[in-house]
Chain A
Amino acid sequence: MTTQHTAADRRTETPDESTGQLLWLVFAVLVAGSPHLLDLHPWVPVTVLAITGWRIIAALKRWRLPSIWIRAPLTLLGFLGVLFSYRQISGLGAGSALLLIMVSMKLLETRGHRDRAVVVFICYFLLFAAFLREQAIWSAGYLMAGVLITTAALYQTARVGTVVPAPRAMQMAFRLVLQALPLMLLLFFLFPRVPGPFWSLPTASGRATAGLTNEMTPGDITELARSNQVAFRVRFDDAAPAPAELYWRGPVLTNFNGRTWTMQAVEARSELLERAPAAGAAYDYELTLEPHRRRWLLALETPATWTARFATLSSAYQLVNTTPVDRRMSYRGRSYLGQSLPAPSNGYQRARMRIIPAGTNPRSAAFARDLRARSTDDRAYLNRIWMHFRQQAFYYTLTPPLLGTHSVDEFLFDTRRGFCGHFASAFALLARAAGIPARIVTGYQGGEKNPLGNYWIVRQSDAHAWVEVLLDDQWVRYDPTAAVAPERIEFGFDAAMDPRALSGSGLLGRHSILNRLALSWDAVNAGWNRWVLSFGPDAQATMMSFVGIRNPSSRYLVVAMAISITILLVIIGLLQRYFGHPRQDALQIGYQKLCARAARAGRARRPNEAPEEYCAALCILRPDLATDIRRLFESYVRLRYDGPVDTHRTREFGRAVRRFRPRSAPT
């Protein structure tokens, strides 16, 4: 029976890390990596999964880990792979790909606690980077769980030898994270904010975007997808207008080539119209727009004022931002219902809005001329068209037939099936054919009220197109869709598609349980956007003014942050002193100091080393210091273990340790 193994023997006897610890590490890597995996080049996840899989099998079968001669080329290969597939090394895609590759390579050489800690810290970073990809509340929940799991992995891998059961590790991680919570809140509220979220990295371009576009070709669309994606949310300060009055103005399409309506290039500021004097009922609202990567903003007709900092009103009364909206933005607006828009002052603009390309849609042009000839004036003529849509057999459908070159002709006289774009397009063309300036306004109509959050949700499926016609120097709105499918305007999109929805029952109806659940979820999301994601400089200033600080500068905030964090740490320290574990006694502090100094002279004490063992090892390493070392360690052991506490001699020991200043180890 030999109990006095040398240190080297022990290292080889027990594996430095247990399989359990490795599994925790791999688990943390996969949890932290999975938000990235699907967005990366396919070879990245395949490589990561292959390496981690191999590592687990190697641990179970006790294979040898690859040597540096295998790891180094593999690492280089991974680096070059990222460089070639992304053409760069920075940026969200390339950066996360590189991190993932490297962290999985790191798993191949986790020999000590230090290596494992590196893996864990990269996992934290990956989780943070995942927030750049997705900022929704469910994503925040997932990342929070990821932080817990990673912390548990840190706890597990920092232990010597074995892991504790998972629930206990998670409990410990939860406690650690909970302790960090006050610090997190302080940083969140006090960290100086820059305008816009600071994670506004350029995201991958070319992603398909749902919603409005700057052109419209009704004849090319055979199926309009019903997207329930939220376009924006609106909170009215007071009562909201009736749903039929909710016309959300978006891109205005003025150019027509016979089939396609396109937006006019946005004019310079000098060409802007004078604003019309306010008239009609005023409505104040706050609009939170989801990113759509286009430059326009939405506003209730007719917009008068807005708080979006970089937006201007174009001559077509369209709110235009200087940059594409690639992050969620929210602004306040005031609109006057029933206020008419002023006509363009210059004749060129008027002429443009009468243009029909020659030779297109001849039947419609003939029909228009005929009808106009039989009408007394423009207004009567437009009413006749309206009645035409209403009385003839036109159908509202999302799956219209494909139309040819003279799309309006075919729609008006042959197919007679279409959605708002078809009706608006035909109406505008008929107006123009009679010499009346007309344009198409796209945007959203209606919305769904969320009673839980007292706000309106406008979805992509609420997208709409209507017509503005110039009558008596004023723009007048005509919505031909309302002539065909009035329920679309009165009750919204669902009503137009499914009469049963009006009955208010059924699982999928507007008032069903499922819908209520969806509305609650949306209310939670809206709160998350409003209070967390959009917490910018303005919100910060507002919050600071509650505690009596007006317009704090960044420097002020930094100082405030530093002071409050210090106070917090002091409070935690005091709490720990009085309620936590008993403070270490003077003897223990002296011993730790002795070990620290001895570590400089020879080597550090291993945690499992008894004082005598460590002393013996040191004496072999530093024979020149042996006398001092032996004397100090012997007096420590005597004080600690051989009798009751001796304050006087403990103090002596402390002094002796302070006098012990060994030169660092001779090399």
Chain B
Amino acid sequence: MTDGLAQIANGDRRGQAKGLADQVTDQVGQIILGKVTEIKLAFACLLARGHLLIEDVPGVGKTLLARSLAIALGLDYRRIQFTSDMLPADIIGVSVFEQNTAQFRFHKGPLFTELVLADEINRATPKAQSALLEAMGEQQVTVDGQTYALPNPFFVIATQNPTHQIGTFPLPESQLDRFLMRIRLGYPPEALERILLSGDDRRDMLDDLTPVLASRDLLELQAAAKHVHISAAILDYTQALIRFTRESPELEVGLSPRGAVDLIAAARCWAMINGHAGVHPEDIKVVFGPVAGHRLQTRHDAHHTAPNIAAFVLDAVPVP
């Protein structure tokens, strides 16, 4: 089995991972137009067993992206709409006393799904947010001393509105750190938006999507990503980037070791779905922004936004 996985990454079947990824991108790309990089990043994020945060203004297709990914990957999908009066039990589930058995029975909440869309996560109070985040870290929940395992694979795609909008509770840094990537969608290019306007309703088109993968395939790909080669040169480059974020006087905090591990994991998956046998500097550069952007903070945030911080760091560090 392990040999087979290694083959996916290194050997003749390396193209297979790329082929699957391309199919997923094609499928989702039919719904979300002109966002190939973002779709591939989202896919890479799930392959790296990470959770994804999509931050953007309402209406650019955040929910649609999550739903179409779920369909293309053949995953169970449930959506939790976060509101300000939400309680942890609304997410995790609740123990109910049953009269006929005279016992408490746990009713699983919407969290027990392979792919959870936590919509507008920053509308909920920190208490409700933390219930979700605990599940994200451990892939299990504990209610009344009883531990329940969450399904495998288990992904959370959270969306949030830009934090300056009214009625939001911004996620603290420690919880932001739980997300492997944060991406933004942005408006579609004008030509593609024209197709969007003239075409069918995207929601109806979801019904036409066909799953590309079974969830077993996904697990296999996840395992295969670990066999993507990491050379000494790429470790040098990664460490140079990390060192720079920690030493630069422009930045408030540098990248944590967890952030660094996540960076390598994400770069491996990105390399795999692009058909590389090893991680190339370019792979690091592409995933650096989504992985590190939300974990870094400038000293004077006035003129550096997240992609700018990443670009600033990538500009400053030479590639060996």
Give A contacts to B, CB under 8 Å. Answer: 1-5, 10, 13-14, 18, 20, 160-165, 588, 607-613, 637-638, 640-644
Select from chain A the residue with minimum beta-carbon distance to B35. Answer: A1
* Closest B residue, CB atoms, query A159: B316
- The interface of chain B, by Cβ under 8 A from chain A, is 10, 37-38, 41, 183-186, 229, 231, 233-234, 247-250, 276-282, 285-286, 288-290, 307-308, 310-312, 314-320
Bound CA span A611–B233, Å: 13
Contacts A162-B250, A163-B249; A4 near B286 (Cβ below 8 A): yes
Give chain A residues whose Cβ lies under 8 Å from the Cβ of B315: 10, 14, 160-161, 608
Contact B282 A13 (CB under 8 A): no
In the complex, which residue of chain B has the Cβ closest to the Cβ of A613?
B282
CB pairs A–B below 8 angstroms (16 shown): A1-B289, A3-B288, A3-B289, A3-B290, A14-B311, A14-B312, A162-B249, A164-B247, A608-B319, A609-B319, A610-B282, A611-B280, A612-B282, A641-B231, A641-B280, A642-B277
Using A1-B38, A607-B319, A610-B281 as known contacts, say yes or no to A641 and B234 having CB atoms under 8 A apart.
yes
Contact between chains at A610 and B312 (CB < 8 Å):
no
Docked Cα-Cα span, A610 to B237, in Å, equals 10
In the complex, are the beta carbons of B249 and A637 less than 8 A apart? no
Q: Contacts A162-B249, A609-B319 known; A13 to B308 CB distance under 8 Å?
A: yes
* Residues on the B chain within 8 Å of A164, using CB: 247
Residues of B close to A588: CB separation below 8 A: 320
Given the interface pairs A640-B231, A641-B229, the reply to whether A3 lies near B280 with Cβ below 8 Å is no
In the complex, the answer to whether A3 meets B285 with C-beta atoms within 8 Å is: yes
Given contacts A14-B311, A642-B278, 6 further A-B contacts (CB under 8 A): A14-B312, A162-B248, A163-B249, A641-B276, A642-B229, A643-B229
- Assuming the contacts A641-B234, A642-B277, asked whether A1 and B37 have C-beta atoms less than 8 A apart, the reply is yes
Query: Which single member of A608, A613, A644 contacts B316 (CB below 8 Å)?
Result: A608
Contacts of A160 in B (CB 8 A): 315-316, 318
Across the interface, do B282 and A162 meet the contact criterion of CB distance under 8 Å? no
A608 to B311 alpha-carbon distance, docked (Å)? 10
Complex: chain A residue closest to B288, CB-CB: A3
With most chain A CB atoms within 10 A of its CB, the pick from B248, B276, B290, B315 is: B315
Most chain B CB inside 10 Å of its own CB: which residue of A1, A3, A160, A610: A1
State the CA gap A162–B290 with chains docked (Å): 23
Within 8 Å CB of A161, what residues of B? 248, 250, 312, 315-316
Q: Out of B281, B290, B311, name the residue touching A10 (CB < 8 Å).
A: B311
**Residue of A at shortest CB range from B277?**
A642
In the bound assembly, the distance between CA atoms of A73 and B216 in angstroms comes to 74
Residues of chain B lying within 8 A (CB to CB) of residue A13: 308, 311-312
CB-nearest residue of chain B to A605: B319
The interface residues of chain B lying within 8 Å CB-to-CB of A643 are: 10, 229, 231, 277-278
Residue of B nearest to A608 (CB): B315
C-alpha gap A637/B38 in the complex (Å): 25
Are A1 and B312 touching (Cβ within 8 A)?
Answer: no
Query: What's the count of A-B pairs with C-beta under 8 Å?
Result: 99
Per the bound structure, the CA–CA distance linking A290 and B314 in Å amounts to 60
B281 touches A3 (CB 8 A): no
Contact A2 B307, CB 8 Å, known A607-B319, A610-B319:
yes
Q: Which residues of B contact A165 (CB under 8 A)?
A: 249
Cα A446 to Cα B318 in complex, Å, equals 69
Q: Check if A610 sits within 8 Å of B285, measured CB to CB.
A: yes
Residues of A within 8 A of B288 (CB): 3
Using Cβ atoms and an 8 Å threshold, which residues of chain B touch A610?
280-282, 285, 319
Distance of B62 from chain A, by nearest CB (Å) = 13
Could you tell me the distance in whole angstroms from the C-beta of B230 to the nearest C-beta in chain A?
9
A162 contacts B286, CB within 8 Å?
A: no
Q: For B183, what are the chain A residues with a Cβ–Cβ distance below 8 Å?
A: 1
Closest residue of chain A to B280, judged by CB? A641
Most buried by A among B277, B280, B307: B280
CB distance from A347 to the nearest CB of B (A): 88
State whether B234 touches A608 (Cβ < 8 A).
Answer: no
Shortest distance from the beta carbon of B289 to any chain A beta carbon, whole Å: 5
* Distance in angstroms between the alpha carbons of A14 and B311 in the assembled complex: 9
Cβ 8 A contact of A1, one of B186, B231, B234, B281: B186
Q: A3-B286, A5-B311, A14-B311 are in contact. Are A162 and B316 (CB under 8 A)?
A: yes
What is the minimal beta-carbon distance from A166 to any residue of chain B, in angstroms? 11
Contact of A642 among B247, B276, B308, B316 (CB under 8 A): B276
A608 to B247, CA, bound (A): 18
Residue of B nearest to A641 (CB): B278
When distances are taken between beta carbons in the complex, the residues of chain B under 8 Å from A608 are 314-319
- Chain A residues whose C-beta falls within 8 Å of the C-beta of B38 in the assembled complex: 1
Bound-complex Cα distance A27 to B263 (A): 39
Shortest distance from the beta carbon of B239 to any chain A beta carbon, whole Å: 15
Least Cβ–Cβ distance between A603 and chain B, in angstroms: 16
Q: How many whole Å from B135's CB to the nearest CB in chain A?
A: 26
Q: Report chain B residues within 8 Å CB of A10.
A: 311, 315
- Closest-by-CB residue of B relative to A637 is B280
> What residues of chain B lie closer than 8 Å to A611, measured between beta carbons?
280-282, 319
How close is A560's CB to chain B, nearest CB, in angstroms? Answer: 41
Closest chain A residue, CB of each to CB of B285: A610
Report yes or no: B184 in contact with A1, Cβ–Cβ below 8 A: yes
- Distance in angstroms between the alpha carbons of A101 and B314 in the assembled complex: 37
Which residues of chain B have C-beta atoms less than 8 A from A642's C-beta? 229, 231, 276-278
| Distance A265 CA – B278 CA, assembled complex (angstroms) | 93
Among A14, A20, A641, find the residue whose CB has the most chain B CB atoms closer than 10 A: A641
Are A3's CB and B307's CB within 8 A? yes
Closest approach, in angstroms, between the C-beta of A159 and any C-beta of chain B?
8
Complex alpha-carbon distance, A164 and B249, angstroms: 7
Complex-state Cα separation, A4 to B320, whole angstroms = 19
Residues of the B chain whose Cβ atoms lie less than 8 Å from the Cβ of A163: 249
Q: How far is the CB of A271 from chain B (nearest CB, A)?
A: 77
Q: Which B residues lie within 8 Å of A20 (CB)?
A: 249
Query: Given the complex, which residues of A lie within 8 Å of B318, measured CB to CB?
Result: 160, 607-608
Question: B312 CB to closest chain A CB, in angstroms?
Answer: 5
How far, in angstroms, from A357 to B229 measured CA to CA in the complex?
108
What separation, in Å, do the CA atoms of A201 and B12 have in the docked complex? 77
- Nearest residue in B to A615 (C-beta to C-beta)? B282
Q: Which of B233, B249, B286, B289 contacts A640 (CB 8 A)?
A: B233
User: What is the distance, in angstroms, from B240's C-beta to the closest C-beta of chain A?
Assistant: 10
Residue of A nearest to B251 (CB): A162
Chain A residues, Cβ within 8 Å of B314: 608
Which residue from chain B places its CB closest to the CB of A584 in the assembled complex? B320
Contact between A1 and B307, CB atoms less than 8 A apart: yes
Task: Return B113 CB to nearest CB of chain A, in Å.
Answer: 26
- Among B10, B231, B279, the one with the most A-chain Cβ atoms within 10 Å of its Cβ is B231
Chain B residue at minimal CB-CB distance from A165: B249
Using Cβ atoms and an 8 Å threshold, which residues of chain A touch B233? 640-641
